[in-house]
Amino acid sequence: MEMTGGEAVVAALDALDVDHVFGIVSIHNIPIYDAIAREGRITMVSVRHEQGAVHAADGYARATGKLGVAIVSTGPGTTNAMTGLFEAGFASSPVLLITGQIESTSYGKGKGALHEAERQLPMLATVTRLAETVRRTEEIASTVVRLGDAARTGRPQPVAVEIPVDLQYRRAEVEVPKASTDTRIRPEASVLVDAAAALSGASRPVIWAGGGVSSSAAGGADGPLVRLAERLQAPVATTLNGRGSIPEDHPLSIGATTATPAVGALLAEADVIFAVGTRFQAGDTRTWALSLPGRLVHIDADPGVLGRSYPPAVSVVGDASLSLEGVLDALQPGSVEDGWLARAQEASRTARAEMRKAIGPDHEQIMDIMRELLPRDGRVVRDATIPAYFWGDRLIPIYEPHTSMRPTSAAIGPGVPLGIGAALGSGRPTVVIQGDGGLMLNVGEFATAAQHTPPLIVCIFNDRGYGILRNIQSRTFEGRQTGVDLATPDFVALARSMGLAAEPVDTIDGFREAFARALASGGPTVLEIDLAALPLRRRPE
Hey, where are the domains in the chain? 2-173, 189-338, 352-537
Assign domain 2-173 to its CATH superfamily: Thiamin diphosphate (ThDP)-binding fold, Pyr/PP domains (3.40.50.970)
Q: What is the pLDDT of residue 536?
A: 42
Sheet containing 501-505: order of strands = 404-405, 379-382, 430-435, 456-462, 525-530, 501-505
pLDDT digits (tens, 9 = 90+) for 267-310: 999 999 999 999 999 999 999 999 999 999 999 999 999 999 99
Q: Do the Cβ atoms of 215 and 92 come closer than 8 Å?
A: yes
Q: What is the pLDDT of residue 276?
A: 98
Q: What is the pLDDT of residue 154?
A: 95
Provide CATH code, domain 189-338.
Answer: 3.40.50.1220
Q: Do the Cβ atoms of 208 and 275 come closer than 8 Å?
A: yes
In degrees, to the nearest 5, what angle opens at C-alpha 18 toward C-alphas 13 and 22?
A: 95
Crossing angle of helices 415-426 and 50-64, in 10° steps, is: 50
pLDDT digits (tens, 9 = 90+) for 88-125: 999 999 999 999 998 888 787 777 777 787 899 999 99
Q: What is the pLDDT of residue 538?
A: 40
Provide CATH code, domain 352-537.
Answer: 3.40.50.970
Q: Which residues pair with 502 in a beta bridge?
A: 526
Q: Do the Cβ atoms of 334 and 200 come closer than 8 Å?
A: yes
Same fold, 189-338 and 352-537: yes
Closest CA to 295 of 313, 278, 320: 313
Please list the ranges in the chain whose pLDDT falls under 70. Answer: 535-541
Q: What is the pLDDT of residue 535?
A: 61
Closest CA to 65 of 86, 96, 94, 85: 94
Q: What is the pLDDT of residue 13?
A: 98
> pTM for the whole thing?
0.96
Q: Note every long-range contact of 324-328, with CB atoms under 8 Å and residues 24 or more positions apart, other chains counting.
A: 324/213, 324/218, 324/223, 324/224, 324/225, 324/227, 324/228, 324/276, 324/299, 325/224, 326/187, 326/189, 326/192, 326/196, 327/192, 327/195, 327/196, 327/199, 327/228, 328/224, 328/227, 328/228, 328/231
